[in-house]
Amino acid sequence: MQIKESQKLQTCALVILRILIGWHFLYEGVAKLLKGNWSAAGFLSQSKWILSPVFQWMVSNETVLNLVNQMNIWGLILIGLGLITGTFTRIAAAAGMALIFLYYLCNPPLAGLFYSIPSEGNYLIVNKNVVEMAALFVLIVFPAARNWGIDHILVRMFRRS
């Protein structure tokens, strides 16, 4: 009985974590979409460290930049929706990790790198991107949507057929 209670609580915590991260992703995407003229150019052109040539190239090529902008906006929105509703949760979480990893690689908080976009905290190697990535990893390895999410229905439909 006691085990069952603690399991319930664990599930509950996972579901809350899933929804919160989903909310964050969804709003990041929607806010950019609503801004209309939003572009990743500023963020990308700041890129430091070894991958910066790649990101600089994205900025310099208009077609690529547009693609990056659209993919980023819709990626954020879809991942957010997926996490909140618990639809293809693992795929969404993995995609979210990949996306954040790209942000991290673009502007890693390493010693000796300085950015003109200010940060609201103080970071060394680990920043909130890394923490959110780790949280998404938790969502992948634990059943965060098996019971409380669309995945619950999908699993059943899949099994039935």
CB of 69 to another protein, least distance (A): 9
CB of 114 to another protein, least distance (A): 14
Quick one: 62 or 141, whose CB is closer to another protein? Answer: 62
What one-character DSSP code corresponds to residue 157? H
CB of 150 to another protein, least distance (A): 5
Nearest CA-CA partner of 67 in 39, 42, 27, 102? 39
Quick one: 140 or 155, whose CB is closer to another protein? Answer: 155
Quick one: 23 or 74, whose CB is closer to another protein? Answer: 23
Q: Name the site residues for another protein (rule: CB under 8 A).
A: 15, 18-19, 22-23, 26-28, 30-31, 34-35, 37-44, 50-51, 62, 72, 81, 84-86, 103, 106, 116-120, 127-129, 145, 147-154, 156-157, 159-160
CB of 41 to another protein, least distance (A): 6
CB of 28 to another protein, least distance (A): 6
The Cα 84–Cα 8 span in angstroms is 19
Quick one: 141 or 160, whose CB is closer to another protein? Answer: 160
Q: Mutual orientation of helices 2-35 and 62-85 as an angle, nearest 10°?
A: 150
Quick one: 20 or 140, whose CB is closer to another protein? Answer: 20
The Cα 100–Cα 16 span in angstroms is 20
